[in-house]
Structure 1
């Protein structure tokens, strides 16, 4: 979790100016649901995204 929040702060929170709390919430949601879960590679998952890792695990089981 510490690694996740560190990346979130560096890549999203500190890198942009938000005009409202709603825009900020939308940006956080998009980062997690679109980038982090679908495209982000994670060393703990053999450099696969969480979604790809789960799909592969479901096929194996």
Structure 2
């Protein structure tokens, strides 16, 4: 039971408790970090493309 973390699910209007292992929690956290990096890269790419488009419009 030491490797399990108890999460109170009351925020969603449920009184259920969620048990998750520390290993699973770390894995989920890593996946969230990966997703955040991908989103940030996508935003940066979109921003660069937008700036390039503005530059092209100005040069025409």
For Structure 1 versus Structure 2, the TM-score category normalised by the shorter chain is 0.3 to 0.5
Larger radius of gyration: 2
Q: Which TM-score applies when normalising by structure 2?
A: 0.37
Q: Which TM-score applies when normalising by structure 1?
A: 0.37
Counting strand residues as a fraction of each chain, which structure ranks higher? 2
